[in-house]
Amino acid sequence: MEKGNEQIFTLDILPLYKAVEDDARELILAGFLERFGFIDHSLNPDLKDMMGTYSKDGYVFFVAFDHGELVATGAVTKEDDRVGRIERMSVKKAYRRKGIGQRMLSKLEDAARSSQYERLVLETHNTWENAVRLYASNGYHLVSDDGQRYHFEKNLGL
């Protein structure tokens, strides 16, 4: 659906469920392959059993669909009782820069508040300019740069 030059998405964001686990894994890995040119599976042990990994207390994993097509993923994991970590934010290439990452981030922040997290942390590669802009424009503050990744945090104001 188009409105002027802006596409309108009927985005449904749901908790991860078994029937789409493989598709979610593939979306995340396709993003890595695109960005890095290779996939190091040893760096992604959580993707082997996503349903098990993300069903722990304080964890949540969401999948987003546009007209039934999986277009984005995102997760919050538990750092400690007061701090959550945003992870596995990925938007299918054809759907980027259309507000889907923004909507997923908002859903993750709402989930973090529901888990009583006071602060969120995340990291992203410092060359991923769109991701850096997304987080900075949503109140995430750069706390460190290890040369490859920017580390951000945001107080949720609970």
- Residues 33 and 50: their CA atoms lie apart, in Å, by 19
Residue 41: give the domain boundaries: 2-117
Identify the CATH number of the domain in which residue 98 sits.
Answer: 3.40.630.30
In a domain, 154, yes or no: no
Assigned token pair, 39: 């996939």
In a domain, 140, yes or no: no
Look at residues 114, 29, 28 and name the one whose alpha carbon lies nearest to residue 64: 28
pLDDT for position 8: 63
Look at residues 44, 53, 56 and name the one whose alpha carbon lies nearest to residue 90: 44
Number of domains the chain contains: 1
pLDDT for position 158: 58
Residue 125: enclosing H or E segment and its boundaries? Answer: strand 119-125
In a domain, 146, yes or no: no
pLDDT for position 3: 43
3-state helix, strand, coil in the chain (%, to 5): 35, 35, 30
pLDDT for position 114: 94
pLDDT for position 2: 39
- Residues 48 and 79: their CA atoms lie apart, in Å, by 21
Report if pTM > 0.85: yes
Helix axes 129-137, 100-114, angle to 10 degrees: 50
pLDDT for position 74: 97
- Residues 45 and 53: their CA atoms lie apart, in Å, by 9
Assigned token pair, 95: 């759907």
pLDDT in tens, the chain (158 residues): 434 445 666 899 999 999 999 999 999 999 887 777 777 777 888 999 999 999 999 999 999 999 999 999 999 999 999 999 999 999 999 898 889 999 999 999 999 999 999 999 999 988 888 899 999 999 999 999 999 999 999 999 75
Residue 24: enclosing H or E segment and its boundaries? Answer: helix 21-36
Residue 47 and residue 29 in contact, taking contact as beta carbons nearer than 8 Å: yes
pLDDT for position 124: 92
- Residues 120 and 105: their CA atoms lie apart, in Å, by 11
